[in-house]
Chains A and B, each alone.
Chain A
């Protein structure tokens, strides 16, 4: 999985491309931990190029959202592909997490 990073409207946008599973979720977790330790308060996970999310991937998404909330920040998820939306809906993540149609909407939103 490739992770790109940019800043939009004071939010850190992490663009995820490929597969988020047990082999790649550790990398994303380390990235998020570093951002939170560095003071990031708003992280948007742009899932527009994310083809697949496993249970391990969902756990990293959940733990990231929790870590940010604990640190006084927030996480948002944007541009869910059909495959990702399906597992989000199965797991109830669509009711528990902040979801937006695209990264621009997510970065513009006031959490």
Chain B
């Protein structure tokens, strides 16, 4: 699992939120859904429930993980009963990404990392925000990943997965936005490709973005 025993799903949700407003950082269309789907696959992979290669995802064990959220994902995979490529599974699991996001937010609130806030926009429209209560977790992971990007050390597999998912969803652009990171774009690209699931998430988001751009009227 991740620092302080956060799952990848929880870490991606935490890193996707603005520190102060608690709103989601801007991302390409559907990027967050696919990033969460990818995070779920990676969580199961590190628990040795599934394994992947460029051609397929295989179930190694049907044994429950003990984590209700990950067990829901494992059940979803088992219920399909087909051999799909990782990209296919990302599409399947993106359909339950709202559940993943909601459960992750509940957990982060329960841990005291975030708080839930109901706000009104224009006094009428209700929106929910998740401002930070305890920024230690987020700061720790950002610092660790920043050091990895700015340095030349080998990543451990967990950090390789995180960076890959953050780059794929374009969250890395927002989180590591300083000039010093822009000068390390090649290093970021190298780290981003180290995880297969992250590469597949990036591929899908790229296709979605290009498809949507192609469907826009000329001049937009």
B:18-58 near A, CB below 8 Å = 45-46, 48, 50-54, 58
Contacts A55-B195, A90-B54, A91-B196 given: A96-B48 contact, CB under 8 Å? Answer: no
Q: How far is the CA of A52 from the CA of B55 in the complex (A)?
A: 12
Instruction: Kindly specify which of A9-17, A32-40, A61-69, A102-110 makes contact with the partner chain.
Output: A61-69
| Residues of chain B contacted by A21 (CB below 8 angstroms) | 51, 53
Across the interface, which residues of A come within 8 angstroms of B160, CB to CB?
Answer: 62
Residue in contact with B51 in the complex, picked from A54, A87, A93, CB distance below 8 Å:
A54
Measured CA separation A35–B153 after assembly (Å)? 22
Bound CA span A53–B194, Å: 14
Report how far A69 CA is from B156 CA in the complex, Å.
11
Q: Does B197 contact A (CB under 8 A)?
A: yes
By a CB distance below 8 angstroms, the chain B residues around A63 are 156-157
Over the window 75-111 of chain A, the binary record of Cβ atoms lying under 8 Å from chain B Cβ atoms (1 yes, 0 no) is 0000000000001001111011100000000000000
Query: Within 8 Å CB of B60, what residues of A?
Result: 22-23
- A66-B156, A69-B154 known; 16 other A-B pairs, CB under 8 Å? A22-B50, A22-B51, A52-B53, A54-B52, A55-B196, A56-B45, A58-B196, A59-B46, A65-B154, A90-B54, A90-B193, A91-B194, A91-B195, A92-B194, A93-B194, A96-B194
Instruction: Classify chain A: how many residues form its interface, as a range.
Output: 20 to 34
Chain B: minimal CB distance from A102 (Å)? 23
B193 to chain A, nearest CB (A): 5
Q: Which residues of B contact A23 (CB under 8 A)?
A: 51, 60
| Residue B170 lies at the interface, judged by CB distance under 8 Å to chain A | no
**Contact B190 A66, beta carbon cutoff 8 Å:** no
Give the CA-CA distance A91 to B193 in the complex, in Å. 5
Residues of chain A within 8 A (CB-CB) of B153 are 66, 69
CB-nearest residue of chain A to B52: A55
Closest B residue to A52 by beta carbon equals: B53
* Separation of A69 and B51 alpha carbons in the complex (Å): 26
Chain B residues whose C-beta falls within 8 Å of the C-beta of A52 in the assembled complex:
53
Q: Mark B100-111, 1 if CB is under 8 A from A, else 0.
A: 000000000000
Q: Given that A62-B154, A63-B156 are known contacts, is A95 also in contact with B53, CB under 8 Å in the complex?
A: no
Contact with A along B141-163 (1 / 0, CB 8 A): 00000000000011111001000
How many Å from the CB of B42 to the closest CB on chain A?
Answer: 9
Give A69 Cβ to nearest chain B Cβ, in Å.
6
Check if A87 sits within 8 Å of B194, measured CB to CB: no
9 pairs of residues in contact across A and B, judged by CB atoms under 8 Å: A22-B48, A22-B60, A56-B45, A69-B154, A87-B54, A90-B54, A90-B199, A91-B193, A92-B194
B199 neighbours in A (Cβ, 8 Å): 90
